[in-house]
Structure 1
Amino acid sequence: MTKRVAVMDLGTNTFHLLIAEGTVNNYHEIVHYHEAVKLGEGGINKGYILPDAFERGLNTMQQFQQQIDANQVQQVRAIATSALRNASNGKDFINEVKARTGIGIEIIDGEQEADFIYNGVKISGCLSAKNSLIMDIGGGSVEFILGNAGNIIWKQSFEIGAARLMDLFHRTDPIPPASIEALDVFLDDKLAALFTAVKGHEVDTLIGSSGAFETFAELIETEKGHSFNLKTTKNYSFDHEELLVQTSKLIQSTHQQRVGNKSIIPVRVDMIVVASLITRYIMHKLAISKVLMCTNSLKEGVLAGMLD
């Protein structure tokens, strides 16, 4: 008897719903849906969910509940990360969701978030015996996990997600050189623990977990005239030079150019700039030339635990 489960990943920018059934190594997706809630919009660095964002979040959770009921789900987990973790009215949101939908939201810390991301990436099959550095760029936080197919060596969550960085550094478009320099100095300081942790470990590959990396891959492939379908692409290996060219274009682009590009989903139109900058920064700082994209992330890691 296979179990049908639902996982909700309630991020700073996007709320995801994944309904699946089967086993951990062979599951079938029934619903895979995401909504650009932008929970952190306008309030991310103030630690407060603004009224419009609060309402968007509630409406999306009610839609998710309808999907869960319609698909006769047996077990449900709703996981909240950086935005709800740090918002002064995060508990109010959780209580209101419970009252309207019956869904109980779990707030997880950065350590748990990193564990789930690792497990999600692991079941995709893109880890090897060599060490990889997994990077998951969220809206509120960025997780780094150093590990291999066998185990996690080190992990940490940093509150430097794309929505926070955009709020701090990307005020004018295209982003000016002075802002890029300021961002690099900021990252030097904020990511000191990462650089200490990777010393003495050889990092073979940078694995970008979903998000911006999906956009980088889609842009590269569609510009070559190839079709690209995220539903059928679990992993993607970047050509180092192509990735640098693509991220350069994004960094130098205007809002209007990005809006007009069908390969960039609306919620990523502006955040893709700081995501490009932090990706290039890590590649340069750690001298990594081998980069993979994995479409699995936190929700697949939660799913793995529920189906195991």
Structure 2
Amino acid sequence: MSKRIAVMDLGTNTFHLLIAEGNASDYKEIVHEHEAVKLGEGGINKGIIQPEAYERGMAAMLKFHKLLGENDVQDVSAIATSALRNASNGQQFMDEVAEKTGINIEIIDGEQEADYIYKGVKLAGGLSHQTSLIMDIGGGSVEFIVGNENAILWKQSFEIGAARLMDKFHRTDPIPRESINALEIYLEEHLPSLLAVASKYPVDSIIGSSGAFETFAELIELEKNNPFTLDIKNYTFDFNELVAVTNKLIASSHNERKDTKGIIPIRVDMIVVASLITRFITQKLGIHKVYLSTYSLKEGVLAEMMA
């Protein structure tokens, strides 16, 4: 029997656990869990994990530890990104997890995060010889990777994730026009290197890596009464449908989003700023070919562990 491997992607909003066996190109999924820990809630821009968020994160790690034992996992990789990377009590959290579970969490920087995201998207078969811009909207950071099936041409991580932007700009619901303007100015100020690189490497398409892009795809398909499953690896957006769904989300109220089938609870509010980031990038770069890859960081880590 092949070795069972577990990958934990410990993000700002969600902790993911993937247990699998086999080889990277054709692995068998044993367990796929995600817990809405909202680690950044109330403290992401202050650089601290608040007590309630800390407890949610710890409860998720204890649950994951139990699942590791129940599924005879031999090799574990637990990867932490923006929230734990920047929190003053992030090390305390990791030390407590190690003490209670024996799981050693590895904090990776934005560059390494971008590498894993690229490997995940490549594993899904979403890249071609054409140059694409991979975009991964996390809660704490957003990774942009310019590349093709052969190589990464450029990559950078920006601390402009959905939880950070929501905390700064989305304090009234629906989000007011002046907040949208302020958010767009903020993105313009923080992304000059991305806008410069897009003129250096003509980008053919945008690939949205999991997260918010899964919600966009699900809402579009539900609108057409089509069943949507995340069992797919790649999805092609009709650009006009993508524009329509993001505009509708930006204009919506919390209750409208909460009552909309296809929006998971953790994304009910963050989907607004994720829609605004998506709209900003497609407009700034003038790109109308947009795809979804349901593979991201954890599949990239898995690919490396199984190699």
What's the CA shift for 1:284? 0.3
1:120 matches 2:105: no
**3-state DSSP class of the match of 2:106?**
strand
**AA paired with 1:133?**
L
SS at match of 2:33: strand
- CA RMSD in angstroms, aligned pairs only: 0.6
Indicate the SS of the match to 2:13.
Answer: coil
Deviation at residue 2 of structure 1 after TM alignment:
1.9
Any gaps of 5 or more consecutive residues in structure 2?
none
Question: In structure 2, what is the equivalent of residue 35 of structure 1?
Answer: 35
How many residues were matched structurally? 307
Structure 2 residue aligned with 1:302: 301
Residue identity in the other structure for 1:249 = K
- 1:120–1:299: 8 Å Cα contact kept in structure 2? yes
Q: Indicate the residue corresponding to 1:47 in structure 2.
A: 47
Secondary structure of the 1:175 match is coil
Counterpart Cα distance in 2 of 1:71 and 1:2: 13
Matched, 1:268 2:267: yes
**1:198 offset after TM fit, Å?**
1.8
Q: 3-state DSSP class of the match of 1:199? A: helix
* Letter of the 2:74 counterpart: Q
- State how far apart, in whole Å, the 2-side matches of 1:274 and 1:64 are: 30
Give the match for residue 291 of structure 2: 292
> Does the 8 A contact of 1:3 with 1:307 survive in 2?
no
1:210-257: CA deviations, max 9, x gaps? 000000000000010011111x21111000000000000000000000
Equivalent position of 2:207 in the other structure: 207
Which residue in 1 is equivalent to 2:15? 15
Counterpart of 1:252 in structure 2 is 251
Report the Cα offset of residue 24 of structure 1.
1.2
Q: Which residue identity is paired with 2:62?
A: Q
| Alpha-carbon shift at residue 145 of structure 1 (Å) | 0.2
Deviation at 1:275, TM superposition (A): 0.2
3-state SS of paired residue (2:127): coil
Q: Which residue number corresponds to residue 95 of structure 1?
A: 95
One-letter amino acid of the counterpart of residue 267, structure 1: I
Name the residue aligned to 1:228.
228
By how many angstroms is 1:200 displaced?
Answer: 2.2
Partner Cα distance (1:31, 1:291) in 2: 30
1:144-155 maps to which residues of 2 (within 5 A)? 144-155=144-155
Q: How far apart, CA to CA, are the structure 2 residues paired with 1:173 and 1:306?
A: 43
Q: Once superposed, which parts of structure 1, at least 4 consecutive aligned residues long, lie more than 6 Å away? A: none
CA distance in structure 2 between the partners assigned to 1:26 and 1:256 by the alignment: 41
Rounded to whole Å, the distance in 1 between the matches of 2:165 and 2:117 is: 21
CA distance in 1, matches of 2:237, 2:199: 25
Find out whether 1:79 has 2:79 as its counterpart. yes
Instruction: Give the deviation of 1:262 after TM superposition.
Output: 2.1
Aligned to 2:208, the other structure's residue is in SS state: strand
CA distance in 1, matches of 2:221, 2:198: 31
Distance (whole Å) between structure 1 residues aligned to residue 260 and residue 233 of structure 2 = 23
2-side partners of 1:68 and 1:266: how far apart? Answer: 26
| Deviation for aligned residue 1:195 | 1.1
Q: How far 1:261 moved relative to its partner?
A: 1.0
Letter of the aligned partner of 2:137 in structure 1? I
Question: Could you tell me which amino acid in structure 1 is paired with residue 18 of structure 2?
Answer: L
How far apart, in 1, do the equivalents of 2:10 and 2:200 lie? 35
Find the residue that maps to 1:140 and give its secondary structure: coil
Cα distance between partner residues in 2 of 1:126 and 1:162? 24
1:134 paired with 2:134, answer yes
